[in-house]
Amino acid sequence: MLTLRRVLSVLFLTVVSMCAATASAQDVRRDIYFPDLPGYQTFVCDLHMHTVFSDGAVWPTVRVAECWRQGFDVMSITDHIEYQPKKDDIPTNHNRPFQLAEGDARARNLLLVRGTEITRDTPPGHFNAIFLDDINKLDTPEILDAIKAANDQGAFVFWNHQAWQGEEKGRWLDVHTTMYDNKWLHGMEVCNGESYYPTAHQWCLEKNLTMLGNSDIHDPDLRQQSLPDDHRTSTLVFASEKSVAAIKEALFAGRTAVWYKHQLIARREYLEPLFHAAVCVETPVVRSGKNVILQVRNTCHVPVNLVKTGGNGPAAISVPARSTAIVRFTTAETDTPLDLPYTVTNFLIAPGTGLPVVLRCN
């Protein structure tokens, strides 16, 4: 007969085994796939997130585990400098989140960039500074002094969620002009969390500012992987190699795309090669008289939605992420190679403007 102690021992070992199995099952990285561009590698980045050291709900190492599990390559913990709601429980030490996360990030081959959020009323708004040496030097009363202090350290500074309190409060002011004219402002969040800001998108194009998309996550992220229809808003950075220096160079050069819901947002010079690296017409193409059957393959983590702009092809083609679609249509051209002109409606090169492409088949 089993004694009570024996029963409790068996139960304890069972629970421990179950917990260990669960932890082991969760400690798996599911990669995100976007193709490289000619001369550059593509890295998936989240450069705006919070922990208990400001108004977030998790310890810094939890952010590392989340990003690694979900397939990210680069991350930055950007706790608020001025907003410290837990300061009675957690002493204010602006560099501490980076210090706590650094070892875990290195062990998981994640690039961790030291960053912070400079937080003021909107307007003028909130600004992230990344690639810092010492966050404490940015803890100053005047916003322009904080922005300058970040730039004195060679930081990359971007304006967060420009219209989060409406376009009127997110308007461009003299303080932004001062930042811009002094080359202290380098980018803007075109997308933040669940929100897209077309004004910020347009300003990036007009003012040659780098486009970013970030999660701005505060709560625990329970996703086990990044899915095409369930993922963090993030930034694709096209860099020469996987290093902090190369990521920094690419951000200053503006080589980015924003991955937001089912969309990619970027300058045409980056979206066009990204599309053609990810999407192709497979061979052979079947042609019988006027009838054409072809397969369109999409290897990236975003679906491709195409609308015909003229000539050959069906009115619309939709290819889900990481899949191949069969396309059938008729044409009057029975012998010559075919050009199929389309607009990729979910690849935005400007607010409301999709990427024009041509699919070619022989």
- Based on the domain organization, do 328 and 211 belong to the same domain? no
DSSP for 208-224 reads: TPEEEEE--B-S----S
Q: How many CA atoms lie within 13 A of 81 on its CB side?
A: 24
Question: For the chain, how many structural domains are there in total?
Answer: 2
Chain segment 285-324, per-residue pLDDT in tens: 899 889 999 999 999 999 999 999 998 999 999 999 999 9
- 3-class SS at 283? coil
Residue 295's CATH number: 2.60.40.3090
* First CA to last CA distance, the chain: 78
- Based on the domain organization, do 189 and 64 belong to the same domain? yes
- Based on the domain organization, do 71 and 134 belong to the same domain? yes
Chain segment 7-27, per-residue pLDDT in tens: 344 344 334 344 444 444 458
pLDDT of residue 197: 98
Report if residue 201 sits inside a domain. yes
- Based on the domain organization, do 165 and 284 belong to the same domain? no
d(CA 237, CA 257): 7
- Based on the domain organization, do 236 and 293 belong to the same domain? no
Residues 199/162, Cβ–Cβ less than 8 Å: yes
Report if residue 317 sits inside a domain. yes
Report if residue 64 sits inside a domain. yes
Residues 192/214, Cβ–Cβ less than 8 Å: yes
Q: Which domain holds residue 329?
A: 273-361
Report if residue 185 sits inside a domain. yes
- Based on the domain organization, do 199 and 246 belong to the same domain? yes
- pTM of the full structure: 0.91
Report if residue 125 sits inside a domain. yes
Report if residue 117 sits inside a domain. yes
pLDDT of residue 26: 54
- Polymer length of the chain: 362
Domain boundary residue among 261, 296, 314? Answer: 261
pLDDT of residue 362: 76
- Based on the domain organization, do 254 and 299 belong to the same domain? no
Domain boundary residue among 261, 295, 312? Answer: 261
- Asked whether the bond before 124 is cis by omega within 30 degrees of 0, the reply is yes
Domain boundary residue among 261, 295, 316? Answer: 261
- Based on the domain organization, do 253 and 280 belong to the same domain? no
Which residues on neighbouring strands pair with residue 160, listed in sequence order? none
Residue 125's CATH number: 3.20.20.140
Report if residue 18 sits inside a domain. no
Report if residue 1 sits inside a domain. no
- Based on the domain organization, do 332 and 225 belong to the same domain? no
- Based on the domain organization, do 181 and 290 belong to the same domain? no
- Based on the domain organization, do 241 and 295 belong to the same domain? no
Within 8 A by CB and 6+ apart from 89, the residues are none
| CA nearest neighbour of 79 among 137, 135, 156, 134 | 135
| CA nearest neighbour of 193 among 156, 164, 236, 223 | 164
Q: Which residue type sits at 252?
A: F
d(CA 135, CA 271): 34
pLDDT of residue 46: 98
Mean pLDDT per 10-residue segment, the chain (362 residues): 44 40 65 98 98 97 98 98 92 94 98 97 97 97 98 98 98 98 98 98 98 98 97 98 98 98 98 98 89 96 97 95 96 86 98 97 82
- Based on the domain organization, do 130 and 92 belong to the same domain? yes
